[in-house]
Chain A
Amino acid sequence: MGIPVAQMWTVTSYVVRQKLAGRKRYPLVLMLEPLFRCNLACAGCGKIQYPAHVLKRELTPEECFKAVDECGAPMVSIPGGEPLLHPRIGEIVEGLTARGKYVYLCTNALLLKEKIDQFKPSRHLTFSVHMDGQREHHDFAVCREGGYDIAVEGIREAVKRGFRVTTNTTLFDGADAKSVRAFFDEMMALGVEGMMLSPGYSYDKAPDQQHFLGKSKTKKLFRKILSNRSKGWRFNQSPLFLEYLMGHRHYACTPWGMPTYNVFGWQKPCYLLQDGYADSFAELMESTAWDKYGTESGNPRCANCMVHSGYEASAVDDTFGSVKGFLATVRATLFGGAYADPAALEALEEKAAPASHLGLVQVNVPASRATPAAPAETARA
């Protein structure tokens, strides 16, 4: 299990309360962006393309607390920009955990060792370290040689000090499934609590508009990666969301599930799209034309999105919205499962065809690390 029981209980009781109250739309995770500044310059990033005067701005702790109180979601994810660049990030995190929120501080970990004394280990705080794959892949993706090694040092230090640590990985067109699986082994060996995954999304304002996965490729890639799982892998995500990425489930988007607050206000309609801003959470919920977004809406900007910020909340809602969903979640959570799939195993052995633009090569992974655990081998036989 990748998520502690206490956190699962908090989320479960919250969702059940929303259901009993008859709320059709409720937030699950607040995406709190206290600044857009970053110490990386990843090519194609769609999150930080702003003039310098915007990049210099940051939310105060008081603004963060007000947003969290308004929203009411039990979990708060703090992405950015790089949140460790915020001069008062320790104060922000302390205030949120004191409110009983489960905080995921999303960081590239370049500053984690240096800033770690600002934080105290708590079951309410998780460092979610952005890792885009094995050393060569990560460094190339974040446009910084040596970035992987610094991040790994940060992870080791945080684990050593008793912090909860997860990884979060974004996969783009051309990702090498075999290498990603070997990367999972590496991360689990570091002692992280679990891993999080998502396909990339083509932000409207990103300089790069060509290297994002369509739905078909997303499902093929995640089926290769997540079938025939190693017993040692743990994911800090809804198991039904992972099944959705593998193409085993169909969900409609829940854009209100992970609302975003930043220096502009409450972002309409979701973490990925910017169709304007509301000044309060209530205004966001009331004034957003939700039916214009999501897969079913026909909105071309949503057509290829399978990102966690839209669909993980759908998976969680499924867990508590149907007996079938609940039982599937219990089964996957308690008993895991290798998701044996001989065809996916065969596909894994095919030479990856890197996307022509990437210049990434298939990393040669020792067979012992790339092959799945016993159940999958049985299935292949």
Chain B
Amino acid sequence: MPQETKAMPSDADAGETAPGVQHENLQGWIPPLATDDEIRLALEKAFDYRGDVTATLKDGRTIEGYVFDRRADGPSLAQCAVRLLPRDGGGKVSVLYAEIARLEFTGRDTAAGKSWETWVKKYVEKKQAGESNIRLEPEKLD
């Protein structure tokens, strides 16, 4: 389930609308981690994901958090690391790719369902129902 960038126009100056990124539905995904390539791909997707993931390490520890960085240029998994902000509020945590035994996209995709079309539809429905003071509210954080 790769996250791919749509094909760009051959000449950006001629493009009328900028192509965006097509996001996959990754919530709940447990990627296969049998090979180095699968591990690299899964962590790249975790980096692109807009929710928390849970990593289970080979020593049995689990870390749940938001992946904000990955340093994947190393030739081996032992030389690549992913960095997370833990859900429990601690400081930045760095984990070597080679230490990860299991990964799960446990958190909600925070952008899912928040498209412009959804807002337009909601607005039109409320307007037609005669409502005023129409707005989208930020989600509660607690």
Task: List residues of A whose CB falls within 8 A of some B CB.
Answer: 37-45, 49-57, 140, 143-147, 173, 201-202, 204-217, 263-265, 274, 276-277, 295, 300-301, 303-304, 357-359
For B68, the chain A residues whose CB sits under 8 A away are: 264, 274, 277
Q: Contact at A53–B66, with CB atoms within 8 Å?
A: yes
Contacts A40-B138, A145-B132; A205 near B20 (Cβ below 8 A): no
Q: Contact at A212–B137, with CB atoms within 8 Å?
A: no
Q: Contact at A50–B8, with CB atoms within 8 Å?
A: no
- Does B120 sit within 8 A of A, measured CB to CB? yes
- Nearest CB on B from A170, distance (A): 14
The 3 closest A-B pairs by CB, nearest first: A209-B20, A214-B15, A304-B18
Give Cα A39–Cα B135 distance, bound, in whole angstroms.
Answer: 11
Of all chain A residues, the one with the shortest Cβ separation from B87 is: A53
For A140, the chain B residues whose CB sits under 8 A away are: 123
Range for the number of chain B residues in contact with chain A: 35 or more
Q: Contact at A51–B51, with CB atoms within 8 Å?
A: yes
For A215, the chain B residues whose CB sits under 8 A away are: 12-13, 15
Q: Contact at B69–A277, with CB atoms within 8 Å?
A: yes
Contacts A41-B138, A216-B13; A205 near B50 (Cβ below 8 A): yes
Q: Contact at A49–B119, with CB atoms within 8 Å?
A: no
Q: Contact at A205–B136, with CB atoms within 8 Å?
A: no
- Does B76 sit within 8 A of A, measured CB to CB? no
Q: Indicate the member of A54, A140, A212, A263 with the most B CB atoms within 10 Å.
A: A54
**Which of B25-33, B54-62, B96-104, B109-117 makes up part of the contact surface?**
B109-117
Task: List residues of B whose CB falls within 8 A of some A CB.
Answer: 5, 8-9, 12-23, 47-48, 50-52, 65-66, 68-71, 83, 85-89, 92, 107-108, 110-120, 123-124, 132-139, 141-142
Q: 29 A-B residue contacts at CB 8 Å?
A: A38-B138, A41-B135, A41-B137, A41-B138, A43-B116, A51-B52, A51-B87, A52-B141, A52-B142, A144-B136, A202-B20, A202-B21, A205-B48, A206-B111, A207-B23, A207-B111, A208-B114, A209-B20, A210-B17, A214-B14, A215-B13, A216-B13, A264-B68, A264-B85, A300-B19, A301-B5, A303-B8, A304-B19, A358-B120
Give Cα A265–Cα B142 distance, bound, in whole angstroms.
Answer: 25
Q: Contact at A202–B116, with CB atoms within 8 Å?
A: no
Q: Contact at B142–A210, with CB atoms within 8 Å?
A: no
What is the predominant secondary structure among interface residues of chain A facing chain B? loop
**CB contact between A304 and one of B15, B48, B50, B139 (< 8 Å): that residue:** B15
Q: Indicate the member of B13, B47, B86, B141 with the most A CB atoms within 10 Å.
A: B13
- Nearest CB on B from A164, distance (A): 28
For A42, the chain B residues whose CB sits under 8 A away are: 136
For B133, the chain A residues whose CB sits under 8 A away are: 145-146
- Nearest CB on B from A272, distance (A): 12
